[in-house]
Structure 1
Amino acid sequence: MTQARRVRVRRVYEAARPRQDGLRVLVDRVWPRGMKKEDARLDEWAKQVSPSTELRKWYAHDPGRFTEFAERYRAELAEPEAREALDRLRERADGGTLTLLTSVKEEQLERSHAAVLREELGGGSG
């Protein structure tokens, strides 16, 4: 039986909280602007679960497009490479906390790919 996991979404620019973050995974396709790799304190960079460049540019964080964005993004997550990476994240996070890191602005987090990904990983909100 699989143990419950807690999936959180945070900005990569926030200071790491080792006791609370658990496994820290960057889920952006491109490296965050101005961030040094050693400062990110990542366990993994899962580019394979980020939206395609085309989808990301189309969406442009337009709130009116979020529902369609989420639908298109879920279709991308069903592709073999993304699905395999998603399954790997599920396995690594079972019974613990998984923190999805993104460079998305604070006010856009709940309408971001990371929020959709959190739902797909069965983590609810948080």
Structure 2
Amino acid sequence: MTTYDTKRIYEDARPDDGYRVLVDRLWPRGISKDKAALDEWCREIAPSNELRQWFAHDPAKYDEFKVKYLQELANNPEAAAALARWRSYTRVTLLYGAKDTAHNQAVVLLEYLHLHESDNLRVIP
């Protein structure tokens, strides 16, 4: 069973993060590759540039962003491929650069993972 979690990339990497995946389309400002300690940069499943720019991390747009991003994920073969890859790990931490820990693409992606792997998924709040 895979355990999924989300975490800001600006937080220090920890051994209990497991497999660390950056799910931003753009590289986060001020983060070196060493500090990121990534196992994977999966920008192909991040929100499209158009959706990302429209959302602009505005919490008032979050509900609509969530619907649109879930639609993008449903139509993105890389999302299914990523899910299949990540199932082989005990723990996967989805990393993001946004300051808002409640209204970002990693939170939506966590919901997507839950919807598509509900019998084999344990989510850490």
TM range (shorter): 0.7 to 0.9
The aligned amino acid for 1:16 is A
Which of the numbers 84, 92, 98 marks the counterpart of 2:92?
98
CA 1:102–1:39 in structure 2 vs 1: closer, same or farther (change >3 Å)?
same
Which residue number in structure 2 is paired with residue 68 of structure 1? 64
CA 1:111–1:40 in structure 2 vs 1: closer, same or farther (change >3 Å)?
same
CA distance in 1, matches of 2:102, 2:40: 22
- Specify the SS of the correspondent of 2:102: helix
Matches within 5 A, 1:18-97: 18=15, 20-93=16-89, 96-97=90-91
Which residue number in structure 2 is paired with residue 117 of structure 1? 109
Unaligned runs of 5+ in 1: none
Q: TM-score, normalised by structure 2?
A: 0.85
CA distance in 1, matches of 2:8, 2:76: 27
Q: Which aligned segments of 4 or more residues in structure 1 are displaced greater than 6 angstroms?
A: none
Whether the 8 Å CA contact 1:7–1:118 is kept in 2: the answer is yes
CA distance in 2, matches of 1:59, 1:82: 22
Q: 1:16-71 CA deviation, whole Å, 9 max, x = no partner?
A: 111x2011000000111111111110110001110011101101121221111001
Unaligned runs of 5+ in 2: 115-121
Identical aligned pairs, as a percentage? 42
CA distance in 2, matches of 1:69, 1:58: 9
